[in-house]
Chain A
Amino acid sequence: MALTLNINGQIYPVTAAPDTPLLWVLRDELKMTGTKYGCGIAQCGACTVQADGQPIRSCQTPIQAAQGVKITTIEGLGGNHPLQTAWVKHDVPQCGYCQSGQLMSAAALLAAKPKPTDQDIDDAMSGNICRCGTYQRIRAAIKDASGQGPTATPLLATTAA
């Protein structure tokens, strides 16, 4: 009884058992590896994808629960999403492993609140862990992408004379 998944606007039949977490079907069966495994218990946000526009943790979502839902992954964000442009401009990533999940949470935030406040950003982004500590630049990039931030190169280092 093969299930089908609607991912980034395409229908994929999958062979995995219905209780298999969406994360592992994306990664192992469909080879969409942009969505990351970080904790497996919905604590770190590295596996965040969108279900009908809402951020969800794919490591805790069995594929049977994703039937009839439009899934969007980092691969579906397009590459030119204003957040992705801002991420590059601010050199947000360090190791980069958490950033797919960060971007999917941030994209859902901006879709719901085009001009998020700092509190909105804290509320929407605190489920996504970054061990490299890129939080400050994530915040700057979200503000920039929402037209509230610096438009110049956000160079924070100043060489003292």
Chain B
Amino acid sequence: MNAITKTPKAASKLAAVTRRGVIVSATAAGGALLVGCSMGDVLSLGAKKTDFGAFGPFIKIDPDGWVTVFNKHQEMGQGNHAGLAAIVAEELDADWDKVRVEPSAANAKIYANTLIGGLQGTGGSTAIANSWTQLRLAGAGARAMFVQAASARWATPEKDITVKDGVVSHTPSGRTAHFAELLPDVAKLTPPKQPALKKPSEFTLIGTDRVRRKDSTAKSTGTARYTQDVHLPNMLTAMVAHPTKFGAKVDSFDATAAKAVPGVVDVVQIPTGVAVIAENTYAARKGREALKVTWNEDKAEKRSSDQIMAGYKDVADGKTDVKWHVFQTAGDAASAFSGALFEVSYEFPYLAHATMEPMNCVAEVDGHKVKLTFGSQIQTLDQLNAAMVVGTLPGAVQIETLPAGGSFGRRGNPTSDYATECVHIAKHVGGGRPVKLVWTREDDMTGGRYRPMVLHTVAVKTDKDGFPAAWRHRVVTQSTTKGLPGGGGFDPSAVEGTKGSPYLKATPVVDGQAYLADFPVTVLWWRSVGATHTAMTMEHTIDQLARKAGKDPADYRRALYKRAGADRHLAVLNLACEKAGWGQPLPAGVARGLAVHESFGTLVAQIAEVSLKDGAPKVGRVVCAVDCGVAIAPDLIAAQMEGGVCYGLSAALYGQITLKDGTVEQENFDTYRVLRMNEAPTVETYIVASGNPPSGAGEPGTPLIAPAVANALLALTGKPTTSLPFVKA
């Protein structure tokens, strides 16, 4: 299966911006200039030498026969742990019921993610794609060692030996041995470099409903251990007073009253604010309430969000002189846009990730020794940022990665914002005394790192059949890679999904340009990243064009996909239409809306059945067709589609962070409304059978529900949606 070596199209968005910058930062942190080293060498400088067992860094087999798979990625709910373990178990022919998963150590040399620039980390729905070949080889290598050991022990040819469910057998003689029995023999062997891999037709675990989560029991009994649950001997708990405006700094503070609160141990200024250090969480909170801080807001952002959007519109309208980034061109744009144009624009608000577990971290700093215990998403960046605070080598920063109570992108960020805060405080405390930094919900929601505000403006000239002949597209937003080592250039995620769209490929003349504004409000990738706004823009525009042309929206798309050679788009569209009964009658007041989008190499089509209740959309059934290559864990893919629809719908219906004079207006779930049980749709997931290498499932289900609902509303009311959320506060 040669196809397994092909990387998914999503490949390396981060790679381009991080590779060089990270090396520079790593060497800066280490205080050395290194020539001729690989990035993994540099990033793991200072790491303790680890002696892995016979099976290498991903597999451990204990004398009781249990197989442990080490997960180098972050488990934040998406269930990658089960898919990754299944890849190993499949090639190893292990007993799936005796396979467990543990987080690996942080070590960029051993555990890098090649799809995010060689950092160890999880993002861009790459966990399965990045590990597919690596873990197949690891599993197959371990299996080959058992076969070799049994062959030697029994003096039988290797070709007569089979492995099933952790048992090695020689059928002609009837001899069998469990993995555990052969361990002493296997320990003397080294894994083969290129073990034979199974053909997909030989898979017995991958693609079956036996691949289920390994953590459901722990998460249904309250025993799963999150960062919030870490209690270490002598541990302190800290909270930080942050400014209410982005870009403000501490001017002065008075800690007298805070220090008088029982349980408060210390108050200290750190670069991002003033930290209150206490014996427990409640004391830290009371101490922070008593703290008085004066902020210097000279360089702070003081605009309201409507003023920011007005500025974006001025840029898009050419009223502000800026340097545009050309992201896509085709044909002769200079003369193609004369005459009647279809013009539409879309406004997208800031969105908070609003994970159930607010940001937090546990740090221990003793001189140059650092240990972090938390839901680290991009371990290598967290190591780098922590190392820079204490002046050590990145590899010397030890991380115990815990499961995260949600992330949706929030826990992995260029500056490791909350983790770095915790390191500053633990450095002040010193002596290796553990400090748990707790962000309250209010800290988390007002703390920035939002999905950026975005403005898309689109002008389309259509041909005689109503198809796009010329497409002009402008995007104005902020960069999510600002602050990333080497991330100062154009952020490709700002236009991903518009750039590369089959609709633009099918259009003879294209003029696509973007401008990324730079101001202090901090932004970040948010589950499905650029697709959160490009899917809505492209899919809702296409429905309006189809309607204008008097064509069925599904047929209109089919014609464009054929022109663009977008076979996989066509396949998910057709599957969704078939399963949803596209074109079949619905009860009065209910309409279907369709959307198709590719993100991170995965194709998704969704059809939503929508009605209006008290003027707001109510979503009932959602049919979801997905093509993510080989479906390793079908039920987990379904879970991600269900969750992606809910996460996307929550934002589409209600999500918006707004600024008033620079201050965030939403602080908690009473004002940042999210989807609840009574509003949750029923999602049906259908997976396209595929032999292609696997791509991700964590994010691609998210961005289609907004345009699917908008398109259903268009069918119901004839009115387009030009801004989100649908329900304004």
Contact = CB atoms under 8 A, between A and B. Distances in A.
Interface of A: 16-17, 20-21, 24, 27-29, 31, 33-41, 43-44, 46, 73-75, 77, 79, 84, 87-88, 91-100, 103, 121-123, 125-139, 153, 155-161
A40 to B, nearest CB: 6
A44 B356 contact: yes
Given A27-B228, A157-B685, 8 more contacts: A24-B281, A40-B440, A84-B220, A128-B677, A131-B674, A133-B644, A155-B635, A156-B685
Contacts of B144: none
B282 A24 contact: yes
A153 B211 CA distance: 12
28 contacts: A20-B282, A24-B281, A28-B231, A28-B237, A33-B229, A34-B221, A37-B438, A39-B441, A41-B670, A43-B669, A74-B221, A91-B639, A92-B220, A93-B77, A94-B639, A94-B643, A95-B77, A129-B674, A129-B676, A130-B646, A133-B643, A133-B644, A133-B675, A136-B683, A137-B642, A156-B683, A157-B686, A159-B686
Nearest to B78: A94
Contact of A132 (B213, B643, B684): B643
B153 interface: no
Given A24-B281, A159-B634, A96 B405 contact: yes
B96 to A, nearest CB: 14
Contacts of A134: 639, 642-643
Contacts of B355: 95, 97, 131
A127 B442 CA distance: 19
The majority secondary structure among interface residues of chain A is loop
A117 to B, nearest CB: 13
A34 B408 CA distance: 22
B634 A37 contact: no
A37 B359 CA distance: 11
Given A79-B221, A91-B213, A133-B675, A38 B688 contact: no
A157 B638 contact: yes
Interface of B: 76-79, 207, 209, 212-213, 215-226, 228-229, 231, 237, 262, 280-282, 354-358, 403-408, 438, 440-442, 575, 625, 631, 634-639, 642-647, 650, 668-670, 674-678, 680-689
Nearest to B627: A160
A78 to B, nearest CB: 9
Contacts of A79: 221
B406 to A, nearest CB: 4
Contacts of A94: 77-79, 639, 643
Nearest to A16: B282
B684 to A, nearest CB: 7
A161 B440 contact: no
Contact of A159 (B221, B442, B631): B631
Contacts of A96: 77, 215, 218-220, 224, 403, 405
Contact of B668 (A41, A87, A100, A127): A41
Contacts of B681: 136
Contacts of A31: 231
A87 B216 contact: yes
A25 B213 CA distance: 32
Contacts of B634: 155, 157, 159
Contacts of A16: 282
Contact of B642 (A35, A73, A136, A161): A136
Nearest to A93: B219
Contacts of A17: 262
A157 B281 contact: no
A100 B356 CA distance: 12
A98 B220 CA distance: 10
Nearest to A43: B669
In the A-B complex, the 6 residue pairs with the smallest Cβ-Cβ separation, listed nearest first, are: A34-B222, A133-B646, A97-B405, A96-B219, A95-B77, A94-B77
Contacts of A136: 642, 680-683
Given A39-B441, A96-B405, A153 B645 contact: no
A137 B407 CA distance: 20
B1 to A, nearest CB: 18
A114 B186 CA distance: 54
Nearest to B701: A133
B445 to A, nearest CB: 9
A130 B676 CA distance: 7
B222 A100 contact: yes
B282 A21 contact: yes
B631 A122 contact: no
B613 to A, nearest CB: 14
Contacts of A122: 677-678
A133 B635 contact: no
Nearest to B671: A43
A77 B225 CA distance: 18
A82 to B, nearest CB: 12
B406 A132 contact: yes
A91 B643 contact: no
A155 B211 CA distance: 11
Nearest to B572: A160
